[in-house]
Amino acid sequence: MLDFYQICALIAVLAFVVLVVFVVRAVLQITKTAEAVEYLALTTAEKVDKTQSTFDLLDKASNFVDNGVYRTVAMGIDLFKRFRK
């Protein structure tokens, strides 16, 4: 029959095996996650490059709104609406 020290050694070995299995599974999952993040980053970079023209258009539109041409046109429309009444 097993004595106390043999039972403790058996429990320690089993705990170590469980720990090794857990660590291996965690490392595999971390590897898969890192690959997915890398793929996502590459895909996102390509899509950002494709939408750069849209961002340029929005920048030009915001500059148009900020400058005096838009304010002048808005004032002209406002005056036209007032005189129309």
* 23-68 pLDDT tens trace: 999 999 999 999 999 999 888 877 777 788 888 888 887 777 777 7
Task: Spell out the alpha helix ranges (H) of 1-85.
Answer: 4-50, 52-66, 68-84
pTM above 0.75, yes or no: no
> How confident is the model at residue 8, as a pLDDT?
94
Q: Are residues 6 and 33 in the same domain?
A: yes
Q: Are 32 and 24 in contact (CB under 8 A)?
A: no
- Alpha-carbon distance of 56 to 23, in angstroms, equals 48
| Same domain for 74 and 38 | no
Question: Do both 1 and 40 map to the same domain?
Answer: yes
* Domains of the chain: total: 2
User: Do 11 and 37 sit in the same domain of this protein?
Assistant: yes
Q: Which domain holds residue 79?
A: 56-85
